[in-house]
Chains A and B, each alone.
Chain A
Amino acid sequence: MISKLLSGMVSRRRLLGTAASVAGAGALGSLLPVRAFAADKVVKIGFLAPLTGEVAAWGKPGLDGCQIWAEWVNAAGGLTIGGEAHQVEFVAYDNEYDPGKARAGATKLIKEDGVKFIMMLGGDTWPGVQKVAEREGMLFSTLLPSDLSPDSSTLLAPAEVHPIYNVTGVEWLAENKPDLKTAVMCAQDDALGLPSVATYLAAFEAAGIEMLDDPLLFDPATTDFAPVVTKLLAKNPAIVSLDTCYSDYVHPICEQLFQQGYKGQIISCTADFYEKIVEKTSKEFMEGFIFQFPDFDDPALNGEQINFQRPNEFYAEYNKRHPGEWGAVSWEYASIMDLWKAGAEKAGSVEPDAVLAAMKDGGSGKHAFGDASWWGEDLFGIDNALVGDWPVVVIENGKAVIKGFKSIPAWYDKHGKLLVKHMEALDQMHYQRG
């Protein structure tokens, strides 16, 4: 009743619509979410990720990317299901990276908004939603395959295989800078940091790079990184690995490395907003910095094997709307939508079970960076991660450049046992979790 009263009194659409009219469809109008008023049929997609708080950098840019994706798809006629056009609309819920709020958000999106698919960041929030997913049979996606388990058949990791793709950066480093043989590592002590630590340890061992010390795990509440960096540099390493640190850590750690006179190699999973790090340090200092997430204006993304639609235009449009906000997840949720759209059109239905079957049909799928296979039985207990090639990105003259694509399954075929060994040592295998 209260919800009805609220929606009757001031619905979101009415409020924003009125405000936009008053403003003469001016500045406020441009902020309105994309709505498909003209279409008869609308498919709603849930976006359940942190949009505020310290993890928002891995949610909000993804939603912004999805809005561009929806506009482009809707402008091109929308989704074709059984010969009929459907417009796509995103419904977002800020879960604040809290499992309880994620549960409330999932039930709202499913029971009240009628979404057909829910995209999540995953991590700490997935266990709160897991029961809802099982009960409702809803199709979910996560960016963190460490959420995958045999218990959750409707959870897919179709965009990124964090942290397994980090092996490609280390492999490239070993091939191109074979004289660098010692490393140290730091990571925040949380659900994102630990599986990544295991992956880097396996990749370094496979590449014959010696770890000079145990990985330095710092508390996520850390704000002063001077002592962390001092401890890292005490062993005089040739390589400093920043693991999968959030951008709130990568930036100050790089500043500290710069201030403490480090001149060696840095490798990291992400380098979101790296331009700001270059500004705070120097082009020379950041030269050769290796990470895993390209800018989508890179010419290498125009190759025939790339399945992401118009990556250069997407990047340009994104930067036009959200200057300086391009990050690791800006394209990822949109790339998941490409896969979901293909699955729905193939199935001739938007119902979760039909789309899931169509997406996994044949055991392969069109990943953003090339055709890939549904994989993961060994590590996650279920083949629900789409794995293929992944780019290795290096900062050259202050700009991220793709230096090549390397195959994750090929690395795993050679060194899989090492990865399992380190994952088990840190209790990160699916049968060891919680």
Chain B
Amino acid sequence: MPEERRNSHSLAWLAVLYAGLIALPYALSYSQQEILVFTTINVLLVMSYRLLTLTGEWSLGHVVIMGCGAYASALASKALGLPVPLSMLIGGVIAGLIAWALSYPLFRMKGFYFLIGSFAAGEIIRLLWKRFRDPFGGPKGIKRIPDLGTIEIGGFTIDFYEPVTYYYVALAVVSVSLFILWRIERSPIGLTFHAVHWQDKLAESVGVDTRRYRIQAFVIASFFAGISGALLAHYVGTINPNRFNVEEMVYVLTWAIVGGTATFYGPILGAVALIVINDILLRELGFDQLRPMFYGLILICSVLFLPKGLESLVPRISRLVRRGNHNPSPPKVQPQEGAE
């Protein structure tokens, strides 16, 4: 397919996708709209995590970095009285700066050691939040975090307490963030991230400073994780150190593993599928208290039967669809006149 045609094809699909995403809340119940907001925020979290994994490093501190953004944004709006959108941006920047500071000790390690080091760094940050009640609120965290409030436009009141309204805000922020992440991955920097992962010795041999690129990925990923934390803090109105513990990190890991990280959409598939199963389907089916068991079962099955993640299903499905389109059922052959 020529590139121009492929682009217009992709744009058409994107337009359809966004039309669906804009209409989606109206197809859901109120509580499902609430879950939709959290899902959108989690999509940004897991996608920022994927950027880090491009360089081959898996962190156990990503949720704590999300928490850094949440705390920074909450404090900027509550203690300093800054507008919420500006606070969110500050949340992302602070998360990125903390990641940059952490990168110096952490990127002296690689692989498994980096994993453990990131966990330790995350726990230190969580302990600081607990220890310093001023300004972090200690174990109880920060409450009454300012929200986006209401806006009056031409007689209409837009109330950001409502999940539908906040979903559109989150969708806009996440869309812009994903676009930037996508552009980064397609840029020479993104290609270098891949090289750092798969051919780090070769990359070094041609002069690539692999440590610098790992740090870049870590800082950029942390900025967007911080933005996701800020989105969460200003919606729920409260944050505490337990919200960013290793248990939450395990969820992010499972979304990434179940979805797959080879493609841009893999972690999104993983996060959306597992959140819908856990928070909507299993609850609707009345398995409220059995959800951890089913969740575990689904994880085991996905690892056993879909080792390359849910993303591996997409090419298979599209091949099937394409095959169906290209091989329509053969037309019935009309017998020629006179033929027996």
Give the residue of B140, B246, B279, B286 whose beta carbon is less than 8 angstroms from that of A433. B140
Chain A residues whose C-beta falls within 8 Å of the C-beta of B284 in the assembled complex: 3, 6-7, 10, 12
Chain B residues whose C-beta falls within 8 Å of the C-beta of A193 in the assembled complex: 139
Chain B residues whose C-beta falls within 8 Å of the C-beta of A124 in the assembled complex: 140-141, 238, 240, 242-243
Chain A residues whose C-beta falls within 8 Å of the C-beta of B28 in the assembled complex: 1-3
When C-beta atoms are compared, the residue in chain A nearest to B26 turns out to be: A1
Q: A100 CA to B286 CA in the complex, in Å?
A: 20
Chain B residues whose C-beta falls within 8 Å of the C-beta of A107 in the assembled complex: 30-31, 34, 163
Q: A1 CA to B38 CA in the complex, in Å?
A: 19
Measured CB to CB, the closest approach of chain B to A147, in angstroms, equals 10
Q: A12 CA to B285 CA in the complex, in Å?
A: 5
When C-beta atoms are compared, the residue in chain B nearest to A94 turns out to be: B288
Chain A residues whose C-beta falls within 8 Å of the C-beta of B281 in the assembled complex: 6
* Residue interface bits B273-316, CB-to-A below 8 A is 1, else 0: 00000011101111011011000000000000000000000000
Q: A1 CA to B141 CA in the complex, in Å?
A: 37
When C-beta atoms are compared, the residue in chain B nearest to A59 turns out to be: B289
Measured CB to CB, the closest approach of chain A to B232, in angstroms, equals 7
Question: Which residues of A in the span 171-223 have a Cβ within 8 Å of any Cβ on B?
Answer: 189-191, 193-194, 219-221
Measured CB to CB, the closest approach of chain A to B78, in angstroms, equals 9
Give the residue of A1, A15, A100, A190 whose beta carbon is less than 8 angstroms from that of B139. A190
* Residue interface bits A80-119, CB-to-B below 8 A is 1, else 0: 0000000000001110011111011101100110000000
Measured CB to CB, the closest approach of chain B to A58, in angstroms, equals 14
Given contacts A427-B133, A434-B143, contact A128 B236 (CB under 8 A): yes
Measured CB to CB, the closest approach of chain B to A375, in angstroms, equals 22
Contact B240 A100 (CB under 8 A): no
Chain A residues whose C-beta falls within 8 Å of the C-beta of B285 in the assembled complex: 10, 12, 15
Q: A3 CA to B283 CA in the complex, in Å?
A: 11
| A367 lies within 8 A of chain B by Cβ | no
Measured CB to CB, the closest approach of chain B to A99, in angstroms, equals 5
Chain A residues whose C-beta falls within 8 Å of the C-beta of B138 in the assembled complex: 194, 427
Measured CB to CB, the closest approach of chain A to B245, in angstroms, equals 7
| A52 lies within 8 A of chain B by Cβ | yes
Give the residue of A1, A94, A111 whose beta carbon is less than 8 angstroms from that of B27. A1
Give the residue of A60, A108, A189, A434 whose beta carbon is less than 8 angstroms from that of B31. A108
User: A interface, how many residues as a size bin?
Assistant: 35 or more
| B127 lies within 8 A of chain A by Cβ | yes
Most buried by A among B141, B147, B281: B141
Contact B137 A135 (CB under 8 A): no
| B130 lies within 8 A of chain A by Cβ | yes
Chain B residues whose C-beta falls within 8 Å of the C-beta of A97 in the assembled complex: 242
| B144 lies within 8 A of chain A by Cβ | yes
Given contacts A189-B139, A219-B127, contact A103 B34 (CB under 8 A): yes
Q: A100 CA to B147 CA in the complex, in Å?
A: 14
When C-beta atoms are compared, the residue in chain A nearest to B291 turns out to be: A52
Chain B residues whose C-beta falls within 8 Å of the C-beta of A3 in the assembled complex: 28-29, 32, 284
Measured CB to CB, the closest approach of chain A to B23, in angstroms, equals 10
* Residue interface bits A42-85, CB-to-B below 8 A is 1, else 0: 00000000011100000010000000000000000000000000
Q: A19 CA to B43 CA in the complex, in Å?
A: 36
Measured CB to CB, the closest approach of chain A to B6, in angstroms, equals 32
| A131 lies within 8 A of chain B by Cβ | yes
Contact B289 A434 (CB under 8 A): no
Contact A104 B35 (CB under 8 A): yes
Give the residue of A7, A219, A434 whose beta carbon is less than 8 angstroms from that of B141. A434
When C-beta atoms are compared, the residue in chain A nearest to B287 turns out to be: A12
Contact A434 B242 (CB under 8 A): no
Q: A12 CA to B138 CA in the complex, in Å?
A: 40
Q: A249 CA to B138 CA in the complex, in Å?
A: 20
Contact A51 B243 (CB under 8 A): no
| A244 lies within 8 A of chain B by Cβ | no
Give the residue of B30, B139, B142 whose beta carbon is less than 8 angstroms from that of A112. B30
Q: A104 CA to B41 CA in the complex, in Å?
A: 15
| A127 lies within 8 A of chain B by Cβ | yes
Q: A101 CA to B248 CA in the complex, in Å?
A: 13
Contact A103 B240 (CB under 8 A): no
When C-beta atoms are compared, the residue in chain B nearest to A93 turns out to be: B288
Q: A94 CA to B286 CA in the complex, in Å?
A: 11
Question: Which residues of B in the span 97-153 have a Cβ within 8 Å of any Cβ on A?
Answer: 127, 130, 133-134, 137-144, 147
Chain A residues whose C-beta falls within 8 Å of the C-beta of B280 in the assembled complex: 6
Given contacts A52-B289, A104-B38, A219-B127, contact A2 B242 (CB under 8 A): no
| B83 lies within 8 A of chain A by Cβ | no
Measured CB to CB, the closest approach of chain A to B19, in angstroms, equals 15
Chain B residues whose C-beta falls within 8 Å of the C-beta of A221 in the assembled complex: 245-246
Given contacts A15-B285, A107-B34, contact A434 B137 (CB under 8 A): yes
Measured CB to CB, the closest approach of chain A to B74, in angstroms, equals 10
Measured CB to CB, the closest approach of chain B to A222, in angstroms, equals 12
Q: A190 CA to B137 CA in the complex, in Å?
A: 11
Contact B289 A51 (CB under 8 A): yes
When C-beta atoms are compared, the residue in chain B nearest to A108 turns out to be: B31
Measured CB to CB, the closest approach of chain A to B281, in angstroms, equals 8
When C-beta atoms are compared, the residue in chain A nearest to B137 turns out to be: A434
When C-beta atoms are compared, the residue in chain A nearest to B290 turns out to be: A52
Contact B236 A100 (CB under 8 A): yes
Measured CB to CB, the closest approach of chain A to B54, in angstroms, equals 28
Contact B31 A112 (CB under 8 A): yes
Chain B residues whose C-beta falls within 8 Å of the C-beta of A98 in the assembled complex: 243
Given contacts A2-B27, A221-B245, A221-B246, contact A94 B289 (CB under 8 A): yes
Measured CB to CB, the closest approach of chain B to A57, in angstroms, equals 13
Contact B133 A191 (CB under 8 A): no
| A306 lies within 8 A of chain B by Cβ | no
| A16 lies within 8 A of chain B by Cβ | yes
Chain B residues whose C-beta falls within 8 Å of the C-beta of A53 in the assembled complex: 292
Please give the residue numbers on chain A whose beta carbons come within 8 Å of chain B beta carbons, in ascending order: 1-3, 6-7, 10, 12, 15-16, 51-53, 60, 92-94, 97-101, 103-105, 107-108, 111-112, 124, 127-128, 130-131, 135, 189-191, 193-194, 219-221, 427, 433-434
Can you list 10 A-B pairs with a CB-CB distance of less than 8 A? A3-B32, A16-B286, A52-B289, A105-B31, A124-B140, A124-B243, A127-B237, A128-B238, A189-B130, A194-B139
Q: Known pairs A1-B28, A3-B29, A194-B140; list 14 more (Cβ under 8 Å).
A: A2-B27, A2-B29, A16-B286, A93-B288, A94-B288, A100-B243, A108-B29, A124-B140, A127-B238, A128-B237, A189-B130, A191-B140, A221-B246, A433-B137
The 9 closest A-B pairs by CB, nearest first: A434-B143, A108-B31, A127-B238, A12-B286, A3-B29, A104-B34, A1-B27, A190-B139, A127-B143
Please give the residue numbers on chain B whose beta carbons come within 8 Å of chain A beta carbons, in ascending order: 26-32, 34-35, 38, 127, 130, 133-134, 137-144, 147, 161, 163, 232, 235-238, 240, 242-243, 245-246, 279-281, 283-286, 288-289, 291-292
